[in-house]
Amino acid sequence: MSELEPRRHAQRSKHLAAGFSMTHVIKSEIHVSDAIRLLKKRLSQFSQTKTEIHLDQWFNYLAFDIIGEVLFSKSFGFLEAVDADTAHLRHYARRYRDSTEESRGPQRRAIGVDEAAREESGNFSEKELYGCVNMTVGAGADTVSASIQSFFYHIMRHPRIQKTVRKEIKDAGLTDDVISYADAANLPFLQACVSAQHGL
Ligand code: HEM
């Protein structure tokens, strides 16, 4: 992202491109669904105790936990630790290295050094890799959080639209408590609402 020279930009992207393919990212779906399930649990708890919360903060926790799963095969644990603070974030680059030994599935990591590409360019150091990891956490978490916040803000502000979305989901007769990526792709009205967040 920070490399302005087109040739070097293309060269560096080669190290990371495979991790961003849909076939790779979709491997994390089951863990992303777990994170959504945990958020739903937290929201029901708040609702039962009638505790006021800032939804944007909780969407932030969700987004960071999802990025943790996708990049490191390991959630940051924000949704788990109810009083999460930013200490979780301080050493996330190091998590990349640690995740090699302790992750549930190292092959799910989005960012990995492609050895063939490394040989070709010969200049992708561990320091650069950490830089990319830091950048991707920032690029991924804020965008995902902002998108979710925008989606729910508009859906709450427009009850008529919300009713149509709910009806479409109900009529689809889905049984899982979290809608899968494949099932969501077959809900055109919902897809239109999601795309609207990105001005598409
Ligand atoms: C709603 C979600 C997102 C939006 C709207 C978004 C938008 C963008 C845009 C507009 C760019 C600049 C593209 C360009 O220079 O031509 C970009 C670049 C980038 N985004 Fe995202 N993004 C999103 C989610 C993510 C996620 C989830 C990740 C990672 C997990 C990510 C990682 C990156 C990276 C690494 C780049 C730099 C690519 C490069 O320079 O080659 N983004 N994004």
101-154 per-position pLDDT tens digit: 454 444 555 555 555 555 555 566 778 778 888 888 989 999 999 999 999 999
What gap in Å lies between CA 148 and CA 43, rounded to an integer?
15
In short, whether 157's Cβ falls inside 6 Å of ligand 1 is no
In short, whether 147's Cβ falls inside 6 Å of ligand 1 is yes
Closest CA to 112 of 132, 91, 89, 88: 132
What is the C-alpha end-to-end distance of the chain, expressed in Å?
23
Is residue 23 domain-resident? yes
Whether residues 122 and 189 share a domain: the answer is no
Closest ligand 1 atom to the C-alpha of 135?
35
Residue with tokens 């959080």: 145
pLDDT band at 91 (very low <50, low <70, confident <90, very high): low
Whether residues 62 and 128 share a domain: the answer is yes
Task: Output 169 or 129, whichever has higher pLDDT.
Answer: 169
Please state, rounded to an integer, the average pLDDT across all residues of the chain: 83
Q: Whose CA is nearest to atom 39 of ligand 1?
A: 1
Q: What is the mean pLDDT of residues 72-88?
A: 73
Domains in the chain, number: 2
Q: How many CB atoms lie within 10 A of CB 102?
A: 11
With a pLDDT cut of 70, the percent of the chain lying above it is 78
pLDDT at 19 over 70: yes
Instruction: Check residue 104 and give its pLDDT.
Output: 46
Task: Give me ligand 1 centre to Cα 19, in Å.
Answer: 13
Closest CA to 15 of 158, 111, 107: 111
Instruction: Check residue 147 and give its pLDDT.
Output: 94
Kindly tell me the sign of the dihedral angle through the C-alpha atoms of 136, 127, 110, 59: negative
Whether residues 163 and 135 share a domain: the answer is no
Both tokens of residue 122? 């010969």
Whether residues 100 and 176 share a domain: the answer is no
Instruction: Check residue 109 and give its pLDDT.
Output: 57
Q: Whose CA is nearest to atom 17 of ligand 1?
A: 139
Residues 40-60 have pLDDT tens digits of 999 999 999 999 999 999 999
Whether residues 16 and 113 share a domain: the answer is yes
Kindly give the interhelix angle for 126-157 and 92-102, rounded to the nearest 10 degrees: 100
Domain containing 24: what range?
6-141
In short, whether 144's Cβ falls inside 6 Å of ligand 1 is yes
Own/partner pairs for 97-102, CB < 8 Å, 24+ apart?
99/72, 99/73, 99/74, 102/74
In short, whether 136's Cβ falls inside 6 Å of ligand 1 is yes
Is residue 151 domain-resident? no
In short, whether 195's Cβ falls inside 6 Å of ligand 1 is no
Is residue 134 domain-resident? yes
Instruction: Check residue 177 and give its pLDDT.
Output: 92
Instruction: Check residue 102 and give its pLDDT.
Output: 52
Contact 141, 135 (CB under 8 A): no
Task: Output 91 or 196, whichever has higher pLDDT.
Answer: 196
Whether residues 173 and 133 share a domain: the answer is no
Closest ligand 1 atom to the C-alpha of 197?
1
Q: How many CB atoms lie within 10 A of CB 133?
A: 22
Whether residues 14 and 102 share a domain: the answer is yes
pLDDT band at 181 (very low <50, low <70, confident <90, very high): very high
Task: Output 69 or 183, whichever has higher pLDDT.
Answer: 183
Task: Output 137 or 93, whichever has higher pLDDT.
Answer: 137
Is residue 105 domain-resident? yes
3-state secondary structure of 187: coil
In short, whether 1's Cβ falls inside 6 Å of ligand 1 is yes
Residue 171 identity (one-letter amino acid): D
Task: Give me ligand 1 centre to Cα 138, in Å.
Answer: 10
Q: Whose CA is nearest to atom 26 of ligand 1?
A: 140
